[in-house]
Structure 1
Amino acid sequence: MKNKNGVPSWAIRTLPALLMGLLASGHGLAQSSAVVYGIMDAGVRSTSGMSPANVRSVGNASMINSGINTTSRLGYRGTEDLGGGLQALFFLESGLNINSGATSSSTKFFDRGAYTGLKGGFGTLTIGRQNTLLADAVSPVDPLATRFASLNSNVAISALSAHQLGTEYGASGSSTGSYRLDNSLKYAYGFGKTTARVMHAFGNQSDSNSKLSSTGVSIDYRGADWQGVLAYTEFKTVTGLSLKGYVSGVAVPVGAGSLKLTYSGHTANTTATAKTRNQVLGLGGTWPLTPQIDLVVGHYQVNRSRSAAADDGYNRTIAFLEYKLSKRSLVYLEADSTRWKKDYLGAGLDGRSTGLSLGMKHSF
């Protein structure tokens, strides 16, 4: 049946319900959020006994570097409220070299992370390319709070960003580091001030479930008086060799600042008969000198042992003096000194390397 304007009666009855549904849908969209964010960090750096890539070398070098204080990046993250306390989420992040305008990775545009997931009363489950549990554990207890990632021993060795083993451990897509893994599932559940996490990354190999895979567990406590973390992960190569890594650390408030201590390391099978073992002890923290000026200092002792090779390593101290221009912008002065043990990363080179940097960081 139609009314006098020729509109079917069922449409007249249905239209109000349809409009209410659209309004409800619009209300649901209002509960969603998506954010574009980033960090732009660059500075002038001068070194002695170290290359522009912060590797032990001959002579002096001067350069402009990106990410001296904090790694430059561009990211996108968001959530959608699904109702009943359930949220969908996503995360995409690219590392940037703002001194050249290039992305940090030539093979992975979202090299710093690409995942989606669900969050609710059951915990948080994410799937994609993600930080390992070792990387997650280092962040809150590292003396420098992961500043200067390319020189920070906890980032490079404890969290495996630059393990220098020449083999891909886990599905990292790299033979130089395993800080993040492809094809991974991560689950986190918080109870009180404690959060437990488990993570598994698939190797995606047609002939094996274990090749290039990794499995890890971690637990952290975040209270008002102190914070502590403990994490363990085992990684596999495509030939079945293993790397077993761990991170432990505590952070305690000291006045308006903080004091942090870490003890971490890994043991890697580099061949069927050879092993490499690294241990890292880190100590330092952050001390506000004025409301605008912070002093951040970290000292790292690295000891390495290898099959059929002499033990070596290094001691490194890194300090930042940061002046806050605003909540989002700061300028910094950085100084570092490394004393090498024996022929670590270079035979016959000078036993000490130093660096000095002046830069600016802006977050948005």
Structure 2
Amino acid sequence: MRKGIGALCAALASSCVAAQTSGVTLYGTIDLGLRHGSGLTASHAAAPGSSHSLGSGIHTTSRWGLRGSEDLGDGAKALFQFESGLNADTGTSANASKYFDRASWVGLQGGWGTLALGRQTTTLADAVSPVDPLGMRFASFNPSIGVAALSQHGLGIEFGSAGSTSGSYRLDNALKYTGRSGGFTARAMWGLGEVASQQSALSSRGVGLAWAADGFVASGAYQNLKDTNQRTLDGTTLGAAYQWGTVRLAANAARSEAETAAGKHTVQRVLSAGATWSVIPLFDLTAAYYKVDRTRTGATDDGYGRLVAFAEYKLSRRTKLYAELDNTRWRNGFQGAANKANATGVSAGVVHSF
């Protein structure tokens, strides 16, 4: 038995050495919190009543992944990443049709930049990330992610090779180049639609540019996406953030326009602003306001305003407790006639990263 155990330990040690040599990292985040919503369902949609739930991803989206690199010499590297979203409250995958729904790509990196091929975020998503007033918290309820970066565009049409009719935050079959020089970061993306006999159907093209120096970040992008009928969805975003001592200020503006049918268009705009204050090194307060406007051909203009606030206490470098409060005021019946015109939510939970 001692010989068997010794052989097993040797095999495990060999595997670990191999993983370290190739630079493979297992990582993830688990976020669970209790939530009460008035005028909201457990999935944060407008509702006529109230809900109580144990939610996953209220602060940070629960996920796990693998990433790694191999040194090819002369400053060149091979890179890869797989990442899968989780419903930590039920132990299921966040996306039933795509296991590695958040990332699945391989690439090369050198002094000339990085070229990645596979499923990855759009230039809009990359541009919003450093300037979102909430710091990308509460992704399923955050208009910067859902509306500005098109994660929940609500159009009911697949634009770009997203594999979904509800959002276009990430694209399949995509090539993305990222180059950096000084404080500038430039991105260019091409998504292949791969629709038989329709060369440009579900295709996408995007560009982005960011500049960072001395605590200041400015970031913007443009993305064009097509559906199977060659109709287009165009999105733009531009924002800035500034770290001033213990306070981070951020603001962003975004606009998208989609042709949803012949002669019919939907335009959505998002204006947002907010701040994070590190009261003490272990305790942060964050508040952000989002104004969303929607214009549709043949329909009344509508939208909503949303205020979201977080209080966070760091138990360690990887674990924190949080409390969250939000209020949404719908305009002109955006929420649906049967639902409340004013919605509130309160949450408390824990998030751990590894």
Matched, 1:157 2:140: no
1:179 aligns with 2:174: no
Q: What amino acid is the match of 2:107?
A: G
Task: Name the counterpart of 2:86.
Answer: 96
Structure 1 residue 76 corresponds to structure 2 residue 66? yes
Opposite residue 308 of structure 2, the aligned amino acid is I
* Per-residue deviation, 1:85: 0.4
Question: Does the aligned pair in 2 maintain the 1:187–1:197 contact within 8 Å?
Answer: yes
Aligned 8 A contact 1:31 1:81 in 2: no
Residue 257 (structure 1) aligns with: 247
Q: C-alpha separation between the residues in 2 aligned to 1:128 and 1:30?
A: 24
Q: Which amino acid aligns with 1:278?
A: Q
Partner of 1:241: 231
Identify which of 193, 212, 237 aligns with 1:222: 212
2:221–2:237 CA contact under 8 A, matched in 1: yes
Structure-1 residue corresponding to 2:279 = 289
The answer to whether the 8 Å contact 1:28/1:81 transfers is no
1:134 partner SS? helix
Structure 2 distance, partners of 1:29, 1:103, is 25
1:301 Cα offset (Å): 0.3
Larger Rg: 1
Q: Deviating runs (4+, > 6 A) in structure 1?
A: 27-30
Q: Which residue pairs with 2:12 in the alignment?
A: none
Counterpart-to-counterpart distance in 2, 1:164 and 1:345: 13
1:139 aligns with 2:129: yes
Q: Which residue of 2 aligns with 1:40?
A: 30
**Greater CA deviation, 167-176 or 283-292?**
283-292
CA RMSD across the alignment: 1.3
In 2: Cα distance, 1:153 partner to 1:265 partner: 12
Counterpart pick for 2:105 among 89, 93, 115: 115
Q: 1:242-261 CA deviation, whole Å, 9 max, x = no partner?
A: 00001100001122121001
TM-score computed with the length of structure 1 as normaliser: 0.91
Rounded to whole Å, the distance in 2 between the matches of 1:70 and 1:224 is 27
Q: CA deviation at 1:291?
A: 1.6
The residue number in structure 2 matching 1:16 is none
Q: CA deviation at 1:74?
A: 0.5
Question: Could you tell me which of 55, 62, 65 is aligned with 2:55?
Answer: 65
Q: Match for 1:273 among 263, 278, 292? A: 263
- Write the distance in 2 (CA, Å) between the matches of 1:359 and 1:30: 34
Compute the TM-score of the two structures, normalised by the length of structure 2: 0.94
Check conservation: 1:201, 1:213, Cα contact below 8 A.
yes
C-alpha displacement of 1:347: 1.6
What is the deviation of 1:121? 0.8
- Alignment identity in percent? 44
Aligned to 2:3: none
